Amino acid sequence: MEFWKHHVADGVPDPGSTVGSEYARCADWLAAVHELNMTAYQQLLADWTVRHRLRRNLWREIDARKLPREKR
């Protein structure tokens, strides 16, 4: 389990490489990171907030899973 806690963020697909506006897989992985490694979750979310801020469907998927994030 320690391995997964440490490396779970490595498996998260980048929303920038997603074809179309289907971000469910990215949000599912982000939810797994949230459960296993809060520090990695916060770092990933901070990165996505900057790089993928305009991807409304990504943020809808994240909000649908009730994952915490800073509101704008």
pLDDT in tens, 16-71: 998 888 999 999 999 999 999 999 999 999 999 999 999 999 999 999 999 998 75
**DSSP assignments along the chain, one per residue:** -HHHHHHGGGGPPPGGG-STT--HHHHHHHHHHHHH-HHHHHHHHHHHHHHTTT-HHHHHHHHHTT------
Q: In this structure, how many other beta carbons lie within 10 angstroms of the beta carbon of residue 47?
A: 11
* Cα–Cα dist 16/6, whole Å: 23
Tokens 């704008």 belong to residue: 72
The pLDDT of residue 71 is 58
Both tokens assigned to 26: 């990215």
The pLDDT of residue 70 is 75
Question: Residue 72 pLDDT > 70, yes or no?
Answer: no
Average pLDDT over residues 3-20: 93
The pLDDT of residue 45 is 96
